[in-house]
Every structure is written in structure tokens, then in C-alpha cells.
Amino acid sequence: RWPVPYRRFDYRPKTDPYCQARYTFCPTGSAIPVMKEEDVIEVYRLQAPVWEFKYGDLLGHLKIMHDAVGFKSSLTGKNYTMEWYELFQLGNCTFPHLRPGMDAPFWCNQGAACFYEGIDDAHWKANGTLVLVTTISGTMFNEMAKWVKYDNETGIYYETWTVQASPDKKSTVWFDSYECSKFILRTYQKLADLGAVFKKIQTNYTSIILFSGEPVYLGNETSIFGPQGNKTLAAAIRDFYNPFKPHHSVREFFVDLFKIIDHVILNHQFYLFYNLEYWLLPMKSPYLKIIYEEVPLPVGSKASFGV
């Protein structure tokens, strides 16, 4: 039963005009090129602190890192970067808007792959990582490109939180996150399954973990907020999300921060929205932790050569 599997969808819905990004998603993005079969392509692991372009190494000290993958074609000499991130920034993927006249919380949440020509060496090297992890053929790259299209069209919602029972490494995972590092891990695994042999180097990734007892299923938007919904529960969910709104003053921020502490730590409650459904997490100490742990590079099964 656990962890709850991440739900895939048949198509990506159109985004609502209400959802606006502070920074444009994938501004220089391009289609993934078709490589010549005989090409030899270097694959690079790329990692840098989140929002490094704005805050430098600040979030690197907290080990909050963003991951990407780079490619270099031997035949053309061209470099490419591929990454997966939020269309409307992290806050919108993690918490909803409470809009006037709408009972249900409104989510601006989508994530997607971005592919573009070039690798910004300075960005990845300055405070992070740019290291060769394997080489692949043009044929393998083209197969990976087909898989990226499938993965991108069906895995559309960003999930910030990993939720597990305790900090123990063998503890039950209730929900797994679905964010930039998970896309890179899936890409590496696909390349391994296609026959790529990875170097033996240490690779670490950031996870933001909530700690909770067994989650309680509450229902979906219709069953909670619809005409026949549970008005008490609907009000409790709105009340929980309200303090996470953007703040216009320091005083407002601290008032809401105390409300969050009251909900999560004193009352041991967190409402999670996952797979378009609501769950109540009975929170427990240490409540939240940011970890930077090793996930080994994959070993291929070579069992499959398709999407």
C-alpha cells in the first residue's frame, strides 16, 4: 500500500491564466535533436544550489541543490542541458492560493522538462558540480529522447515533499517526492537500461522530508469542497493553508509563522495534497528535515531497449 504511487496522466492540461511565474519557465528551450547513430555523447552530472543565479551559494550551505544533466556530442561539438523544474516556482507547487469566491484551494502546480543548447559551465562549476558520468551512443540518446517525451507528457505535477515515518533509513515511506532530482535519477536509470555504464563516483541529492504517522485519506476536491462536501473539513483545510500565502510585511509573516507552528508542531497536523487528493498527516518529531544523501548511479538491466 505504501508508498502511494505517483499518478500519471494521459495529457497535460492547459495552464490557467491566473497562474503567473516570476521567472519564465525554460526561456531558451528547444526541441531535443535527433543524433546520428554513430555519435559518441558525453553525459555530465550537473548540480548547483537552488536559486544560485539570485543568491549565490547561500542555499548550497543548507544543501538545497538543483540537479540537471548535460550532454556533449563528439560529432558536432555541441553541448546541451536538460532539467526538470516548476512552471510557476516552488511556492506555487507546494501551497495553493485561496481565491475569493472559490471554496476549494486553487493550485498552480505543474513541472516539466526543459532542454536547451549549451551548458553554463560557470553556473554549475562555481558552487556546484559538473562531472562526466558516462558516454552513450547517438542511438541511445535518441531512445532516451522518446522516453523523455513520454515521461514529460504523463508526469505533470510537482511534488515537493517526501513523507516518511521516521528519520531511520529503513522507515516506511508514505509518499515520495517528484521533483528535479527524481527526473535526473529516472533519466540515469533509463540510460543504464539502454546499456550505459556509469562511473563509480559518489552522487548526493537533496530531499525535503516530513515525518508523520500513518496518513489518513480525506478525499478529493469534489468530495470535500463540492455541494455535498464536508464543510467542517473544508474549513479546516483552508484554515491550514491560509498562513502559507505570500506576505507583505514582517509582522504579517511572524503572525502566520506562529499559526503554522501551532498547526504542525503543537497540533501535529499537516494537510497534504498528492495525486489531486487530500490527506491528513499526523505529524511527529522532528517534523521536517532537509537531507543530502547519497543515491548511487544505476547499474543497467539491459532488459529493455524501448520506451
Show which residues are catalytic: 66, 180
Vertex 165: Cα angle to 174 and 232 (nearest 5):
70
β-bridge partners, 135: 42
Neighbouring CB atoms inside 10 A of 264's CB total 17
Helical spans, DSSP H, in 43-137: 52-55, 89-94, 121-127
Helix, strand, coil percentages in the chain from 3-state DSSP, rounded to 5: 25, 30, 45
CA angle 208, 286, 184 (to 5 degrees): 15
CA 133 to chain CA mean position, Å: 22
Strand partners, 42: 72, 135
d(CA 116, CA 173): 34
- Which position has the grid cell 539570485? 54
Helical residues (DSSP H) of 35-97, grouped into ranges: 52-55, 89-94
